[in-house]
């Protein structure tokens, strides 16, 4: 899958299961957002997290994980804020980012497993 985003330690072989791929994408995004929050709104980290969300949004269309697209748009909007924009609301922004990632994880947990090709 072209949209697979993975931590550097994981092999480049994409799994056949798009749900598993999406879980890996969420985990990678979670690490990127964690780094961003530790070094609050450090520009290269903010850009990296924004790029990951953009790639995940494109992957949602390819994978059919469309129910997550609204959450990803919300993440994109928050990550597009500059450091100046977040002045005075850093805690709220951080809490909302973590909440949205939690909601993405919950959606994947609740989604039905994929059926094998050819099964009825």
CATH for 18-110? 1.20.120
Write the pLDDT tens digit of every residue in 72-92.
999 999 999 999 999 999 999
Is the pTM of the predicted complex or chain greater than 0.85?
no
H helix runs in 39-89, sequence order: 43-63, 69-79, 83-86
Write the pLDDT tens digit of every residue in 21-47.
788 889 999 999 999 999 988 999 999
Q: Give which of 40, 51, 52, 22 is closest to 114, Cα–Cα.
A: 22
Q: What are the sequence ranges of the domains in the chain?
A: 18-110
- 109 or 116: which carries more pLDDT confidence? 109
Distance of CA 78 to the CA centre of its chain: 13
Q: In the structure encoding, which two tokens stand for residue 67, read together?
A: 């129910």
pLDDT at 18 over 50: yes
Q: Are 21 and 14 in contact (CB under 8 A)?
A: yes
């Amino acid at each position: 899958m072209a949209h697979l985003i993975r931590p550097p330690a994981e092999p480049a072989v994409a799994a056949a299961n798009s749900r598993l791929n999406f879980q890996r994408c969420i985990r990678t995004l979670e690490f990127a957002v964690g780094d961003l929050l530790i070094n609050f709104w450090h520009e290269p980290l903010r850009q990296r997290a924004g790029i990951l969300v953009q790639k995940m949004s494109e992957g949602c269309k390819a994978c059919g994980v469309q129910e997550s697209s609204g959450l990803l748009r919300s993440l994109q909007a928050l990550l597009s804020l500059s450091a100046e924009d977040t002045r005075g609301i850093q805690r709220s922004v951080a809490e909302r980012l973590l909440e949205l990632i939690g909601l993405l994880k919950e959606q994947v947990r609740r989604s039905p497993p994929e059926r094998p090709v050819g099964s009825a």
